Amino acid sequence: MTRFSVAKNLRPAALAIAACFGLSACLAANSALAPASVPNLAEADAPEVSRTTPDWLNLHFEISDRSARLPQFSWDQVIFHAKPGDCSKHRDAAGPSDCATRTTRSVIAKNQIWQQELDFKVGQRYLLTFDFWVDPDFIASGSPAKVSLARWYGSRLSQTPLFEVELDARRGVTFLGTTCVSAKDLGGWHRFSVRMRLAEDETGFVEMRCDSALKVGQPLLAKSNIVTTQPWHCAFGAPCRRKYPTPDQFSVELGIIADPVRGRFAPLPAEGLTVRMKRIEVKRLLVIIGRVEDL
C-alpha cells in the first residue's frame, strides 16, 4: 500500500521552484503547485494519478482501484464525491468493471486490522466506527437512489455484500433495515458504530449504535446466534436459495457506492453527492464489554 511521504511529495515542487529564473518559468512552477480538481478515472486512457493516503488515516486503508472519482483528504476528513454516471473501468477477481455493471463508486478500502496487521478472519470480533456528514441537498432532492456508505465483503463472494450502511432520501441512514439517523435529522455530523463477530455458524453477532446510543441506553440493533459470513438477507430474512462459499478473509469499503437502478446508473443529483467522514476506526476486539444479545 502506498503511504504519504512529505519528502516524496515535495520533491517535484522543490525542483520546479529551483528552476524558476523568469516570470514565465515561475508561473509554470506555481501552476504545478495549484490544487487539482477531483480526478475522474472513468475518462478513457486516464493518466496515472496519485493514490497516496495521509498519515492520520487508519493504517491499511487505501483508495480502491474501483473508485471512479478519487476521495480527497482535508485536515482530518475524507471527502467523497460522485456524479451521475461516474464509473471505473478497472476489472479484477471480484468481477466485471463498475462501468459494465453501471455501479458508481468513490471509496477507501481496508482488508487488514490496524496495529495487529492481520487479515479479517472467521471467528474474530471487530469494531468499525466513524463520523459521517451527508450533503443535505441529497435528502432535499428526493432522489430514489440508494447509496451505501459502508460495505463489508467476503472473499469468494464476488461483489455480493455481507452487510452495509445504507443512505436514501426517504429513510435516511440505516443498517440492516434499522434506522441510524432519520432523513429529517441528517445535515450535521453523526457517528456510526458496529461490533460484530465473523462466524460461519450460529456464534456470530452484530450490535449497532449511533449518536447518543453510543454512550447511554440500548443499542439500536442487536442480533445474536446468527451466521455472519453470508449475505445479511440470509441471516435476517428468508433462507437463501443458494449456499454461498465461506469467505477466508474480509474487507470493508467506506464512502459512496451507488448500485444501478433497473439496469441504469443510480439517479444521483445532477450536481453530485458529497459525503464526508472522519474519526474512522477499525480494530479487532479481544474483549467485549456490555454487549446486548438481542433486541
- The reply to whether 63 falls in a domain is yes
- How many angstroms separate the CA atoms of 78 and 65, rounded? 17
User: Cα–Cα–Cα angle for 142, 148, 153, nearest 5°?
Assistant: 165
Confirm if 137 and 145 have CB atoms less than 8 A apart. Answer: no
Of 134, 141, 204, 124, nearest to 172 by C-alpha is 134
Cell numbers given for 244: 454461498
Q: Is the pLDDT of residue 138 over 50?
A: yes
Question: Residue 167: is it exposed, middle or buried by C-beta count within 10 angstroms (0-12/13-18/19+)?
Answer: buried
**DSSP conformation class of 94:** T
Q: Residue 38 contacts by C-beta under 8 Å, 6 or more apart in sequence?
A: 69, 70, 72, 81
Digit-coded pLDDT (tens) for 36-71: 445 554 443 343 456 778 888 866 788 988 999 999
Confirm if 235 and 255 have CB atoms less than 8 A apart. Answer: no
Digit-coded pLDDT (tens) for 121-136: 677 788 889 999 999 9
What is the rounded average pLDDT of the residues 69-86? 94
In single-letter form, the type of residue at position 217 comes to G
- The reply to whether 3 falls in a domain is no
Tell the residue number behind the cell numbers 472467521, with chain if given.
122
Higher pLDDT, 27 or 286: 286
CB atoms within 10 A of CB 172: 19
Range from 25-29, 110-114, 156-160, 182-186 that averages highest in pLDDT: 182-186
Average pLDDT of the chain, as a whole number = 77
- Residue 1's pLDDT is what? 38
Q: Report CA-CA distances (Å) from 142 to 105, 202, 257, 267, 295.
A: 20, 39, 18, 10, 31
Cell numbers given for 36: 487539482
- The reply to whether 20 falls in a domain is no
- The reply to whether 106 falls in a domain is yes
Cell numbers given for 242: 443458494
Confirm if 246 and 121 have CB atoms less than 8 A apart. Answer: no
Higher pLDDT, 176 or 37: 176
- The reply to whether 21 falls in a domain is no
Cell numbers given for 227: 451466521
Q: Which of 200-214, 228-242, 264-278 has the lowest mean pLDDT?
A: 228-242
Query: How many structural domains is the chain composed of?
Result: 1
Give residue 239's pLDDT band: very low, low, confident or very high (50, 70, 90).
low
- Residue 157's pLDDT is what? 54
Q: Is the pLDDT of residue 254 over 80?
A: yes
- Residue 93's pLDDT is what? 76
What is the rounded average pLDDT of the residues 143-161? 81
Give residue 230's pLDDT band: very low, low, confident or very high (50, 70, 90).
confident
- How many angstroms separate the CA atoms of 294 and 3, rounded? 41
- How many angstroms separate the CA atoms of 163 and 132, rounded? 18
Length of the chain in terms of residues written: 295
What φ, ψ does residue 141 adopt, rounded to 5°?
-70, -20
Cell numbers given for 4: 504519504
- The reply to whether 10 falls in a domain is no
Give residue 11's pLDDT band: very low, low, confident or very high (50, 70, 90).
very low
User: Which domain covers residue 212, as residue numbers?
Assistant: 35-284
- Percentage of residues in the chain having pLDDT higher than 90: 36
- The reply to whether 120 falls in a domain is yes
What φ, ψ does residue 43 adopt, rounded to 5°?
-65, 140
Task: Write the CATH number for 101.
Answer: 2.60.120
What is the rounded average pLDDT of the residues 146-164? 81
- The reply to whether 14 falls in a domain is no
3-state secondary structure 185-231: HECECEEEEEEEECCCCCCEEEEEEEHHHHCCCCCCEEEEEECCCCC
